[in-house]
Amino acid sequence: MSQKKLDEPGLKNVSEFPIGTAVNINRLINDDALMSLQILNFNSITATSDMKMQSILPAENQFNWKKSDTILYYAKKHNQRVFGHNLIWHSSTPKWVEEKGNKDSLWLGEFMKDYIHKYVGRYKGKVAGWDVVNEAFESKGGAYRKTFWYNNLGKEYIANAFRYAHEADPDAVLFYNDFNIERDTLKLQAVLNMVKDFKKEGVPIHGIGFQMHIRMDTPDEVIAYSLKKAAETGLQIHLSEVDIIFNSHNDERLGGIENYSSITDEMKLAQEEKYKNLVLMYRRIVPKEQQFGITVWDFTDRDSWIKGFFNMKDWPTIYDEDLKPKPAYNGFLEGLKEKTKKK
């Protein structure tokens, strides 16, 4: 592997909690420059897509462990924590499951149990934590999303998914993961109500994942408020998919609103500040024992999902298109290094 000389000290080396990134494993292991940066900075790894149901079980009875096994192998080799993303998500449910499940909800309930048992069981003791259910609430407001899973199994599917995952690996840290909960207080409240109900009913939930796909104009005060409310549950808090964009969108595929088509030095510095503040808020507001870690969603502007998904230009991550560290990288680093009062 050609080793590049780097000035960056490595985010993981200055952090008290794990620093993660999401990756596409094939892209990572076939790109030496990307891999050097990944190894330098991160001690936790999440799959952007490779561990979703669509990838693990694309056809009936055809489990495909190739990529997930590769991720585990890579993580072990480089001493990184593996975080499992995700077990149940409407957007990654294979067509064949939908077709069968829509005809037979009893089958679907059994299928979900079996899938989670097999999958979590296979990686028992090796995958540290899981996003058990992803995005079960509407993009805005507090209503349950009327997904295939909800429509066929009712909201109980969420609690059951947590129960099955816990049965398969009692030591895995189990998360509910969603977006917009750092900025939409109604949506956050709905998640917190669910957590409260779960605790009352003894449903094994251990953490809340804030995806944290934020924008430059997402107010820091609102983020701080949301982190504080979530931390009050006593659960682990994971910033699970961090990126920060300049442009806007309507939360839908191809729904980008491109106000900026190029980035200025001033914008880069503003993003540096925003990254720094986010890391500092996490460190100041979330008690140490609840800091599961901060994970960025891809770590280069070249690879970020934003452009393709929203169909707009943007500069969401800490490395630029040429894999050079941006001021945002420095902001992240400074946020980790700055002295904070001990909790």
- Our finding on whether 151 is near ligand G3I (CB under 6 A) is no
Distance from C-alpha of 198 to C-alpha of 235, rounded to nearest angstrom: 12
- The residue among 21 and 41 lying less far from ligand G3I, judged by its C-beta, is 21
Of the two residues 54 and 330, which places its CB atom closer to ligand G3I in the complex? 54
SS3 content of the chain, % helix, strand, coil (to 5): 45, 20, 35
Angle formed by the axes of helices 265-285 and 327-337, to 10°?
Answer: 20
- Of the two residues 48 and 291, which places its CB atom closer to ligand G3I in the complex? 48
Q: In sequence order, which residues have a C-beta less than 8 Å from that of residue 59 and are 6 or more positions away?
A: 94, 96
Q: How far is the CB of 307 from ligand G3I (least distance, A)?
A: 11
- Residue of the chain from 40, 305, 323, 330 that contacts ligand G3I (CB under 6 A): 305
C-alpha closest to that of 278 among 243, 311, 254, 306:
243
Q: Is 207 exposed, middle or buried (0-12, 13-18, 19+ CB in 10 A)?
A: buried
Catalytic choice (135, 138, 182, 272): 135
Site for ligand G3I in 56-115 (CB under 6 A): 91-92
Segment 5 to 34, residues that bind ligand G3I, using CB under 6 A: 24
Q: Is 48 in the site for ligand G3I (CB under 6 A)?
A: yes
Span 212-241, contacts to ligand G3I by CB under 6 A: 241
Rounded to the nearest 10 degrees, the angle between the axes of helix 156-168 and helix 185-201 is 60
Assess whether 135 carries a catalytic annotation.
yes
60 secondary structure, DSSP code: T
Note whether 286 and 297 are within 8 A (CB). no
CA distance 39 to 225: 33
Say whether residue 290 binds ligand G3I (CB under 6 A): no
Tokens of 34: 């990307």
Q: Taking CB under 6 A as the rule, does residue 38 contact ligand G3I?
A: no
At its nearest, how many Å lie between ligand G3I and the CB of residue 24?
A: 5
**Residue selected from 36, 49, 185, 189 as contacting ligand G3I according to rule CB under 6 A:** 49
Select from 5-13, 47-55, 157-165, 231-239 the region that touches ligand G3I (CB under 6 A): 47-55
The interface region with ligand G3I, picked from 46-54, 96-104, 227-235, 274-282 by CB under 6 A, is 46-54
Q: 30-47 b/e with 16+ CB inside 10 Å = b?
A: ebeebbbbbbebbbbbbb
Minimum CB distance to ligand G3I, residue 288 (Å): 27
Report in angstroms how near the CB of residue 241 gets to ligand G3I at its nearest.
5
Name the nearest CA neighbour of 158 among 193, 188, 186: 193
Judged by beta carbon, residue 48 or residue 80, the one nearer ligand G3I is: 48
Tell me: does residue 309 bind ligand G3I (CB under 6 A): yes
Q: Is 334 a catalytic residue?
A: no
Q: Over the Cα atoms of the chain, what is R_g? A: 19
Asked if 271 contacts 328 with a C-beta cutoff of 8 angstroms, the reply is yes
- Residue whose C-alpha is closest to residue 235's, from 313, 167, 162, 287: 287
Tell me the site size for ligand G3I, rule CB under 6 A. 12
Least distance in angstroms from the C-beta of 96 to ligand G3I: 17
Length of the chain (residues): 343
List 8, 99, 156, 241, catalytic entry: 241
Nearer to ligand G3I, 176 or 280 (CB): 176
Which string of x and - marks every residue 243-272 that binds ligand G3I (by CB under 6 A)?
Answer: ------------------------------
Tokens at 188, concatenated? 């956050």
302 touches ligand G3I (CB under 6 A):
no
Active site residues: 135, 241
| Sites of contact with ligand G3I (CB under 6 A) | 24, 48-49, 52, 91-92, 134, 179, 211, 241, 305, 309
